[in-house]
Amino acid sequence: MNILVLSGSPRKGGNTEMLVDAFVESASQKHNVEVVSVRDYKINPCIGCNACFQHSDHSCCQKDDMSLVYDKMSKADMLLIASPVYFYGLSAQLKAVIDRCHNPLRDTFHISKMGIMLVGAATLPELFDSILVQYRLCLNFFNVEDVGQVLVRGVKDKGDIKKSDALKKASDLGLNI
């Protein structure tokens, strides 16, 4: 498979990135894996003009790096999203990428599998609930299969994730797809 990873933390070398690295190392043994670290791309939020629905080539009126991501998505069989929890949601940088998929171009994609990896500082059981509701609704809407989730509580500072078994879980997810 071609696996596209959308890595959503603006913090370089942080917990999300370490999780992504563990996944990529194992998944790369059997699959082509590409990582888009969203902080490296200039991607504006969707402005809701719906011009992409009028344009014959479905081009977006915003000329930014999202065109590069559309191209990568068009080649992907699987999408993995990874994000820190920001106020019980995804990072704004990653949410901007997701919202820009409100574009008919997505109907030309052949992504049939998805996974999700999330990290947050709190330890409360419901930490990921709001994100996982959105995730499941999107899976249903697009008829996409969930291949697995790595959900990591209690990691705040850079490197905290090494104190948990999460890197092993991310590696196992990469091995088992």
Which residues of this protein are in contact with ligand FMN, per CB under 6 A?
9, 11, 14-17, 84-88, 119-122, 127, 155-156, 158
Q: Among residues 87 and 141, whose Cβ is nearest to ligand FMN?
A: 87
Label residue 101 exposed, middle or buried (CB < 10 Å: 0-12, 13-18, 19+): middle
Query: What is the C-alpha to C-alpha distance for residues 59 and 63, in angstroms, rounded to an integer?
Result: 9
Q: Among residues 120 and 148, whose Cβ is nearest to ligand FMN?
A: 120
Closest approach of Cβ 10 to ligand FMN, in Å? 7
Q: Among residues 110 and 156, whose Cβ is nearest to ligand FMN?
A: 156
Q: Among residues 85 and 114, whose Cβ is nearest to ligand FMN?
A: 85
Report the Cα 47 to chain-centroid distance in Å: 21
Residues 6+ apart with CB under 8 A from 136: 146
Closest approach of Cβ 24 to ligand FMN, in Å? 15
Closest approach of Cβ 111 to ligand FMN, in Å? 24
Closest approach of Cβ 112 to ligand FMN, in Å? 27
**Closest residue to ligand FMN: CB criterion:** 14
Where do runs of H (alpha helix) occur along the chain?
A: 15-27, 51-54, 66-75, 92-99, 129-142, 166-176
Query: What is the C-alpha to C-alpha distance for residues 82 and 139, in angstroms, rounded to an integer?
Result: 16
